[in-house]
């Protein structure tokens, strides 16, 4: 018999044990995972005796695990249960079958994930896109276009909901079938920065928001670099779009390397401060990418994957290019001319864009490229 969603939720006592393990002083994630490997569940850890715990941890940690739970534990359990009872909210403990497989592979994987939105996105082919908070207009345009093209190829875009490149990447991801995942550095019941509130609400409705931090956690400075390992951990590769020499995005890139993920970087002007981080990554071995086709090639996905199920031959390509003429044209007008649905045509235009036959312009316009 297939388990129901309700049967997969931890009981109040199990949830209390997960929260207690996460909050035990002196017990970090690496130690917690060592304990879970030995005892199986948080409840079993707290039921173990001192000698059994000492076989895994030092005396001070064993005593901390045997100390009575905090008086705040029961109210926290009630708050989490109330939160997950709300539509669209889900709590994934490390032993939950829907916990993301890629994330489970990293060192210091979160014990719990608070998820708002569509959890299926956590299991799809994903690329993390990161970059400067103080991004240039060109950098944000590049991020949005790249994310849109990848999302239209059913690649999910993972980023951190920060200003600048992150926000542009999320916007692009929302425009395609791949969608987007925002990994945040606060509790899942908080939105930060406030200026991204509207974007966060769109992501919660159309994509997915993920946090490892307890409900109510404010935007603490140290939490944002720490959450970067989750951004890279959820993805097959990390793409740095624009970054200064000391950008926090380089932290994500280093974490990706440690997690055996690919790292890509977009080059820029040698005179641009916000290109220096990307150039350093390329110098150190990151793969230079300029288009979504470059990324898909690295992911072993060809242009055919970008057609999103559309099938067409050379004669159709010729018809499209002839219909486009030499002036920019909107997809809707082209669809009317070709007597085809705009939705179906979008996938075909994307494949032609990646083949270098046309260019996507701002505002939904397309321009034929002449060789």
The string of pLDDT tens digits covering residues 166-200 is 999 999 999 999 999 999 999 999 999 999 999 99
Binned at pLDDT 50, 70 and 90, residue 324 comes out as confident
pLDDT of residue 318: 79
**Per the structure block, which two tokens stand in for 339?**
């007597």
Over range 100-104, report the average pLDDT.
Answer: 94
pLDDT of residue 186: 98
pLDDT of residue 344: 63
Rounded to 10 deg, the angle between the 137-152 and 165-174 helix axes is 30
Q: What Å distances lie between residue 259 and 65, 105, 118, 176, 237, CA to CA?
A: 29, 8, 25, 27, 10
Over range 305-332, report the average pLDDT.
Answer: 69
Over range 9-13, report the average pLDDT.
Answer: 84
pLDDT of residue 362: 64
What is the distance between the alpha carbons of residues 273 and 179, in angstroms, rounded to a whole number?
31
What is the distance between the alpha carbons of residues 294 and 286, in angstroms, rounded to a whole number?
13
Q: What Å distances lie between residue 347 and 215, 236, 304, CA to CA?
A: 40, 23, 10
pLDDT averaged over every residue in the chain: 89
Q: Flag whether pLDDT at 305 surpasses 50.
A: no
pLDDT over 70 percentage in the chain: 89
Over range 298-326, report the average pLDDT.
Answer: 65
pLDDT of residue 44: 97
Higher pLDDT, 124 or 303: 124
pLDDT of residue 309: 38
Binned at pLDDT 50, 70 and 90, residue 311 comes out as very low
pLDDT of residue 349: 76
Question: Which residue is associated with the tokens 């690496």?
Answer: 30
Binned at pLDDT 50, 70 and 90, residue 7 comes out as very low
The string of pLDDT tens digits covering residues 117-159 is 999 999 999 999 999 999 999 999 999 999 999 999 999 999 9
Higher pLDDT, 357 or 298: 298
**Burial class for 339, CB neighbours closer than 10 Å (0-12, 13-18, 19+):** exposed
Over range 247-259, report the average pLDDT.
Answer: 89
| pTM summary value | 0.80
Domains of the chain: 1-79 (1.10.150.20), 119-301 (3.40.50.450), 304-368 (1.10.10.10)
Q: 365 φ, ψ to 5°?
A: -95, 155
Q: Flag whether pLDDT at 38 surpasses 60.
A: yes
pLDDT of residue 130: 97
pLDDT over 90 percentage in the chain: 70
The string of pLDDT tens digits covering residues 50-89 is 999 999 999 999 999 999 999 999 999 999 999 999 999 9
The string of pLDDT tens digits covering residues 197-242 is 999 999 999 999 999 999 999 999 899 989 999 999 999 999 999 9
Higher pLDDT, 4 or 342: 342
């Amino acid at each position: 018999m297939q388990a129901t969603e309700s049967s997969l939720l931890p009981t109040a006592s199990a949830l209390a044990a997960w929260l207690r393990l996460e909050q035990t002083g002196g017990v970090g994630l690496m130690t917690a995972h060592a304990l879970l490997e030995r005892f199986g569940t948080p409840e079993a850890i707290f039921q173990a005796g001192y000698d059994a715990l000492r076989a895994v941890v030092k005396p001070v940690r064993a005593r901390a695990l045997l100390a009575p739970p905090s008086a705040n534990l029961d109210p926290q359990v009630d708050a989490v249960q109330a939160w997950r009872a709300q539509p669209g909210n889900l709590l994934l403990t490390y032993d939950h079958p829907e916990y993301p497989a890629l994330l489970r592979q990293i060192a210091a994987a979160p014990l719990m994930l608070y998820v708002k939105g569509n959890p299926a996105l956590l299991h799809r082919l994903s690329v993390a896109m990161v970059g400067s908070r103080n991004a240039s207009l060109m950098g944000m345009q590049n991020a949005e276009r790249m994310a849109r093209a990848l999302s239209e190829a059913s690649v999910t875009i993972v980023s951190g909901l920060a200003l600048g490149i992150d926000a542009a990447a999320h916007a692009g991801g929302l425009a395609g079938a791949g969608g987007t995942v925002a990994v945040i550095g606060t509790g899942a019941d908080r939105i930060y920065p406030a200026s991204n509130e509207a974007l966060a609400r769109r992501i919660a409705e159309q994509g997915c928001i993920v946090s490892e931090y307890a409900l109510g956690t404010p935007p603490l400075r140290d939490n944002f670099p720490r959450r970067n390992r989750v951004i890279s951990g959820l993805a097959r590769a990390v793409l740095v779009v624009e970054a200064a020499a000391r950008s926090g995005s380089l932290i994500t890139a280093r974490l990706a390397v440690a997690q055996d993920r690919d790292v890509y970087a977009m080059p820029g002007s040698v005179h641009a401060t916000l290109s220096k981080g990307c150039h350093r990554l390329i110098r150190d071995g990151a793969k230079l990418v300029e288009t979504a086709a470059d990324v898909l090639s690295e992911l072993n996905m060809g242009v055919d994957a970008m057609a999103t199920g559309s099938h067409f031959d050379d004669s159709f390509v010729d018809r499209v290019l002839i219909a486009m003429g030499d002036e920019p044209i909107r997809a809707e007008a082209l669809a009317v001319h070709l007597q085809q649905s705009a939705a179906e045509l979008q996938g075909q235009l994307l494949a032609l864009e990646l083949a270098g036959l046309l260019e996507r312009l701002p505002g939904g316009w397309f321009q034929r490229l002449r060789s």
